[in-house]
Structure 1
Amino acid sequence: MEVILISSIFLSFFIVFLLLTKKQKVLTDRILVIWFVIIGIHLLGFYFNQKGYWEIFPHLVGITAPMPLLHGPMLFLYTLYSLRNDRKIRAIDYLHLIPALASYLYMLPFFFFYSVEEKRMVDNGKIQDYSVFSIVLLVAILISGLIYSILSYRLTTKHQNKIDNYFSYSEGINIKWLRNCILSIGLVFFSATIIYILRDALGIQFPFNVEYIIYLIIIGFVFYIGYFGIKQENIFTNNPTIKSAVEGVSESSKKYKNSGLKSEDITELYKNLLKTMVDDKPYLDSKLSLSELAQILKISPNQLSQIINQEAKVNFHDFVNNYRVEEFIQKASENKNFSLLALALDSGFNSKSSFNTIFKKQKGITPSQYLSKQVQKDLKT
């Protein structure tokens, strides 16, 4: 455990170093730097506590106690500004930091007016001055973490819906990595809540230090960010594709609030859309977006989105990729000598992973399984 903990502390500050030396830093980089400094100090405090340094240096007692109150807000702010294009944090968003600041203000007398021996006694539970505060702080940390995890996940869900309604592809604009970050942080707080309820409310005694479980999950999160950031390059490099995607979605939603289409207009435009998809096959463009297809049809993106959602009962992403799947099936039946990937790319998909995911979503089975079934049907007939 000690080696893993030291490694995670080192990695936390190494991530900070990578972000600080990154060229063309954006707002989310600065948020992540602050967050990982907090995580690094938090883990360092836990390490010092486990090594008994707080007994040797009692002035360290309580310094990191309110820090977990910052993890939820930092997660939320990082998520929020990953999906926005602001250059600085809005004044209202600093309010999320008030609980942590209030906790530190409440502890000022402890930090500056308690003697060394009194701090030791408070840490060992022999002085109960901060016992109620400790319980309130723990509950606040757990509630804060759970609420902010839920709020952050809701932000990504809403944004993903916008992406699916605006783009026919996911490469370069996929926010799955961000959702995994949120889920991992949510897991930390959910696990902590369950553990503390079992231990403190129900009196269940664990044969191990329950804090190890919580900190192991935090350590796992640090390693995840380190691995993903270096391997996938979504965190340590700027991605103009994501930025343009967000700008496109935001601009579209601002510009077209009401389409003003009548039911008969929708029916007629939908017929024209279907005819265009069959005759011109715009879906063969792997980067096809809602605005590009709307431009072909000479209508607004919002009108096109309304037509697809209302008539086809799906979002733009699924609508376009349904045609790509059918195109692949047709090409596969006519060109048995080509690889599946080559046929998929020729049908409008731009990667093997997205092709397999979308095909299985549309047909319920993998492309190879589907084609095998088709061969068996042909043999029977």
Structure 2
Amino acid sequence: MTGYHQLLFFFSALGAFNGFLLSIYFAVNAKKKHFANYFLSLLLLVLSVRIVKSVFFYFNPNVSNVFIQIGLSACALIGPFLFLYLKSYTTNEKINWVKHILPYAFIVTVLGVVYPYFENNNLWVRWIINGIYAQWFIYIAFSFKYIRPIVKKIKEKESLKKIDVWFLSIYLGIAFIWLAYAVATYTSYIVGALSFSFILYLVILLFIFRNSKESTFLIEKERYKNKEIDKETMALIDQKLSIIIEKELFLNSNFSLEDASKELKVTKHLLSQYVNEVLGKSFSNLIKDYRIEKAKRLLETEKNYTIESLGYDSGFNSKSTFFTAFKKNTGLTPAEYQKAHSK
């Protein structure tokens, strides 16, 4: 083995090893924080099994066929675990993990027993493996539903929370690894180093976010669980929110949840929960709505200012953000709205 291949083997194997370690970490962490971390743990486990299979098959084609079969079969669970992990964090629905895991585990097990890889190599290469990769892709497509809000934030040039970066990294990492395996016939079969990059990135994110209240281990949805706001508190917060409008605090383009909580003398946790659960929107979108209402009034009354300047006067920090948000909210561009409502 040349120096280049030794280096490639080292980093590829190290990626798989890191995957196993992270799998154990999240399995242990799940007991203390969030059940969804079990799905993340199992996702990293089956992904690492697949990586190990690739590494050893690439550097030793004579490796046991049973080992190859196990590695290929693990792919059938990567997509489902990705889907379950993202869904469990972003919805309040009860997760029926059984229907997403047991059928595939049963099918690949039966296929492995009835049609073992070492006796039915052509069947596996032509049909079973392609079927597993197709199923993996379908779950990646289904999982995009839970990533769409993050993509929407990017399109609207909103700042991403650390938890958004975490979920997007996991999703894109899994999708990229799927693509690498899917086109392995045309490129190189060894994607262990590629997978290692993904695992290493997760490790880096893990250390960066480990003390963050927005991290994947202390996500807001978990903090809200089983903590309903009583009617008296809801009425009080509703009354306090009017202060933001009366004082036009939203005109500050950097106005944040933390600023609001200090001004209203309400904890960030409670204010965020109220806006999310009662008003059905994020705090940033609430402030955006206030700014649009301000912009409407200015567009209806001010004639001697440019539309762009009115956007800045409404609290928006850029022309593109203003135009995009206004069109989405009203169905009209600021210019069209001004023309239709000019007095």
TM-score, reference length from structure 2:
0.58
- Aligned residue number for residue 199 of structure 2: 225
Aligned sequence identity (%): 13
After the TM superposition, which residues 12-51 of structure 1 pair with which residues of structure 2 at under 5 Å, given as runs? 12-18=16-22, 20=24, 25-26=29-30, 27-51=35-59
In 2, the alpha carbon distance for the partners of 1:33 and 1:302 equals 29
Give the whole-Å Cα distance in 1 for the aligned partners of 2:319 and 2:208.
26
Q: 1:285 to 1:159 in 2, by over 3 A?
A: closer
Partner of 1:99: 104
Counterparts of 1:135 and 1:254, CA distance in 2 = 56
Taking structure 1 as reference, are residues 160 and 58 closer, same or farther at Cα in structure 2, changes over 3 Å only? closer
> What CA RMSD, in Å, does the superposition of the two structures yield over aligned residues?
5.1
Which residue pairs with 1:274 in the alignment?
Answer: 245
Given the alignment, which residue of 121, 127, 139 partners 1:148? 139
Please identify the structure whose Cα radius of gyration is greater.
1
Deviation of residue 182 (structure 1)?
A: 1.0
Which sections of structure 2, spanning at least 5 residues, go unmatched? 235-239, 293-315, 324-343
1:67 is paired with a residue whose SS is: helix
What is the match of residue 296 of structure 2? Answer: none
* 1:12–1:222 Cα contact (<8 Å) kept: yes
1:224-259 Cα deviation digits (max 9, x unpaired): 332342355367x37544435224677799999xx9
Query: Where does the alignment leave 5 or more consecutive residues of structure 1 unmatched?
Result: 126-130, 163-167, 197-208, 260-268, 323-354, 365-381
* Paired residue type of 2:17: F
Question: In the TM superposition, what whole-angstrom CA distance separates every residue of 1:242-277 from its partner, at most 9, and x where no partner exists?
Answer: 435224677799999xx9xxxxxxxxx998753232
Amino acid at match of 2:178: F
- Gap change, CA 1:135 and 1:320, over 3 Å in 2: farther
Q: Distance in 1 between matches of 2:228 and 2:141?
A: 24
Q: Aligned equivalents of 2:140 and 2:200: distance in 1?
A: 20
User: Partner of 2:72: helix, strand, or coil?
Assistant: coil
Write the distance in 2 (CA, Å) between the matches of 1:94 and 1:234.
Answer: 33
For residues 150 and 222 of structure 2, the distance between their equivalents in structure 1, rounded to whole angstroms, comes to 12
Match of residue 220 from structure 2: 245
Question: SS at 2:70's partner residue?
Answer: coil
TM alignment of 1:1-381, pairs within 5 A = 2=5, 3-18=7-22, 20=24, 25-26=29-30, 27-54=35-62, 57-83=64-90, 90=95, 92-97=96-101, 98-111=103-116, 119=118, 122-123=120-121, 125=122, 131=123, 134-158=125-149, 170-172=160-162, 174-190=163-179, 195=183, 209-210=185-186, 212=188, 215-216=190-191, 219-231=193-205, 233=207, 237=210, 239-242=212-215, 243=218, 245-247=220-222, 274-278=245-249, 284=255, 287-288=258-259, 301=275, 305=279, 315-316=285-286, 318-319=288-289, 362=321
Instruction: Give the CA deviation at 1:102.
Output: 0.7
Deviation at 1:221, TM superposition (A): 4.0
CA–CA separation in structure 1 for the residues paired with 2:250 and 2:166:
37
Paired with 1:22 and 1:190, the residues of 2 have a C-alpha distance of 25
